[in-house]
Amino acid sequence: MVPSALHGLILLDHVLEPYELRMGRPGSVTGDQLRAQARALGVDRVTEVIVLAGAAYAAAARQVWPTATAPLEGAGGMGYRLQRLKARREGRYAMAARTTAEQLPDNSRTTLTRTTLNSLEAP
């Protein structure tokens, strides 16, 4: 399931038209709407929820599932989240989860950027 700022909880096979709205902005779905959708979909009592999204989406998910985990929380922007996911895939997640670009020496930031770009180019 994917959270959408405009539509709420979306099933993976549902295709949406493009839109410009971020979670938490005026016009985005509310916690009440997300809870109602979760109930209607039968997922409101799920005990393990993992959110692979930014802070606003994690906060929205926690309005439905208070114990939801967000392993990408604190990773920064999309590039840093992709880098953390790649590190997880390569078995380096423990280090990546504790490291942000601000904590690394300047020469490591270039490596992070190059790694992120490489992951985007991968098939």
**What CA–CA distance (Å, rounded) separates 1 from 10?**
6
pTM score: 0.67
pLDDT at 94: 59
Q: What is the pLDDT of residues 60-80, one digit of tens each?
A: 999 999 999 988 888 888 888
Q: How many structural domains compose the chain?
A: 2
Whether 97 maps to a domain, the answer reads yes
- Give the three-state DSSP class for 42: coil
Same domain, 40 and 90: no
Same domain, 58 and 9: yes
Report residue 92 as tokens: 């380096």
Whether 6 maps to a domain, the answer reads yes
**What CA–CA distance (Å, rounded) separates 23 from 1?**
16
Same domain, 8 and 39: yes
| C-alpha dist (Å) from residue 74 to 28, 44, 53, 100 | 22, 26, 11, 8
Whether 73 maps to a domain, the answer reads no
Whether 71 maps to a domain, the answer reads no
Same domain, 15 and 59: yes
Same domain, 39 and 92: no
| C-alpha dist (Å) from residue 116 to 13, 65, 91, 98 | 27, 30, 16, 17
pLDDT at 76: 81
Domain range for 105 is 78-121
Same domain, 53 and 11: yes
Whether 35 maps to a domain, the answer reads yes
Q: What is the pLDDT of residues 7-43, one digit of tens each?
A: 999 998 999 999 999 999 999 999 999 999 999 999 9
Same domain, 10 and 57: yes
